[in-house]
Structure 1
Amino acid sequence: EVVWDESRPDGTPRKLLDVSRLRGMGWAPRVSLSAGIRETLQWYQEQT
C-alpha cells in the first residue's frame, strides 16, 4: 500500500547555480546550452 505523506513538500527540489559572481569576473560560457546538448548527444551516440 502506498501512503501519501502530506507533511512533505511535493516534487523534486530545484538546484540552480548562480553564476553572477563568475560573470562579474568576466567569465562567459564558450558553448551554448543547446549546442552543448547536441554535442553531448553526438558524443554519446559515437560511444555506443
Structure 2
Amino acid sequence: MRTPELVELSLSSLMGRLHGSLATYMALTFMKSAYSNYIPMCSTGES
C-alpha cells in the first residue's frame, strides 16, 4: 500500500464531508435568520 494515495483519498473524503456540513450549516443559519425576521413581521402585522 502506498501512503501518498491513502493520504490523498482521506483528504478528499474529509474535504467532501467538510463541504457538505458547511453547506448544511449555511442553509440552517439562513433559514434561522429568515425565520427570526419573519416572526416579528407577523406579530407586528397582527397587533
- TM-score normalised by the shorter chain: which range applies? 0.3 to 0.5
TM-score normalised per structure 1: 0.35
> Which structure's relative contact order is higher, taking Cα pairs within 8 Å and 6+ residues apart?
1
Normalized per residue, the structure richer in helix is 2
Larger Cα-atom Rg: 2
